[in-house]
Amino acid sequence: MPPKRFKRILLKVGGEAMMGNRNFGIDPVAAIEVAEKIKQIYTEHVQIAIVIGGGNVFRGVAGSKQGIDRATADYIGMMATVMNGLALQDALEQIGVPTRLQSALSMPSVAENFIRRKAIRHMEKGRVVILGAGTGVPYVTTDTGASLHALELHCDVLMKATKVNGIYDKDPEKHNDARRFATLTFKDAIQITDVEIMDTSALAMSMENNMPLMVFKLFDGDSLLQAVKGKNIGTYVSNNVETKFVQ
Ligand code: UDP
């Protein structure tokens, strides 16, 4: 079972959350909606680092399929995450949440460089730290960045906000009889191939270093608040649980 309450979390927000009902790009109204969810836990004094994705703007894999060199395409994708980071920073500050944006790619005009100890200090001082550019290297995605940052920032948990309210044994959009896991071992999570949970590299890193993962739906009432309070929201993945479906 998840611990009673998380004190420091790494929240992974996919780029799609920033796009609202659009097909592409950033919807400022959606950015405020994401920010409002984060404010709910900020006011509960949870220390928060956010890894923001870039899929609403550019994904390296898609770019490379269209002929761009893969590494170059990935750098474009990383820059997309910094754009989202700026939009999320703006939204959070509009509603009174202090933030710092740090980037794993050096862009000093718009973001601090990622400095681990500084990021921890910001959280201790009550600032939400937004982490752009993932890991700063190509051939991986922001899931791996989220796992890595959760570990080095000594977070209690990696919370992955998605469109679906947890991990299912098969794609719930295609199968009526799909069942949601309440708890799942990392070993089993890596073996579920029908459902895209997270990059295998991110899962493996979390497994090897005992960083629990919570997968939940962001736009589902106050699910994020419930999740940080340790309520049984979504799916909790750890080395210290048994794989069990929701009853
Ligand atoms: N990316 C990368 N290295 C990283 C993080 C991201 O190369 O450490 C690139 C990669 O091309 C990826 C893109 O940035 O497709 C956007 O991130 P991601 O696809 O993870 O965004 P999300 O799906 O979370 O919106």
3-state secondary structure of 242: coil
Q: Tally the residues of the chain.
A: 247
Taking alpha carbons only, the member of 87, 79, 102 closest to residue 34 is 87
13 lines ligand 1 (CB under 6 A): no
- Reported confidence tier of residue 3, pLDDT bands at 50, 70, 90: low
pLDDT band at 197 (very low <50, low <70, confident <90, very high): confident
Given a contact cutoff of 8 angstroms between Cβ atoms, the answer to whether 181 and 245 are in contact is yes
Ligand 1 proximity of 18 Cβ (cutoff 6 Å): no
197 and 144 in a single domain? The answer is no
> How confident is the prediction for the chain on average, in pLDDT?
95
132 lines ligand 1 (CB under 6 A): no
Distance CA 162, CA 157 (A): 16
For 35-92, write each residue's pLDDT tens digit.
999 999 999 999 999 999 999 999 999 999 999 999 999 999 999 999 999 999 999 9
Query: Does 1 score more than 90 pLDDT?
Result: no
Same domain, 135 and 164: no
What residue spans of 153-192 are helical by DSSP H? 186-191
Contact 149/10 with Cβ under 8 angstroms?
yes
Q: Does any domain span residue 183?
A: yes
End position of a domain, from candidates 155, 172, 197 = 155
pTM to 2 decimals?
0.97
Task: Determine whether the shortest distance from the Cβ of 135 to ligand 1 is under 6 A.
Answer: yes
Classify residue 14 by burial, with Cβ atoms within 10 Å: 0-12, 13-18, 19+: buried
> 151-163, pLDDT tens digit by residue?
999 999 999 999 9
Residue pair 17/58 in contact (Cβ under 8 Å)? The answer is no
Is 84 close to ligand 1, i.e. is its CB under 6 Å away? no
Are 41 and 49 in contact by the 8 Å Cβ rule? The answer is no
Expressed as residue numbers, the domain containing 187 is: 156-247
Report the nearest-CA residue for atom 21 of ligand 1.
53
Region 191-200: what's the mean pLDDT? 84
Q: Tokens 């960045």, residue?
A: 145
Task: Give Cα separations from 50 to 68, 82, 195 (angstroms).
Answer: 29, 12, 24
CATH classification of the domain holding 130: 3.40.1160.10
User: CB-hemisphere CA count at 13 Å for 190?
Assistant: 14
Separation of 41 CA from ligand 1 center, angstroms? Answer: 25
CA–centroid distance, 76 to ligand 1, in Å, is 9
Structure-block tokens of residue 238 = 């750890």
Q: How many domains does the chain have?
A: 2
Range with the lowest mean pLDDT among 65-69, 140-144, 166-170, 196-200? 196-200
Domain boundary among 131, 155, 179: 155
**Domain boundary residue, one of 124, 155, 186:** 155
Residue 209 banded pLDDT, cuts 50, 70, 90: very high
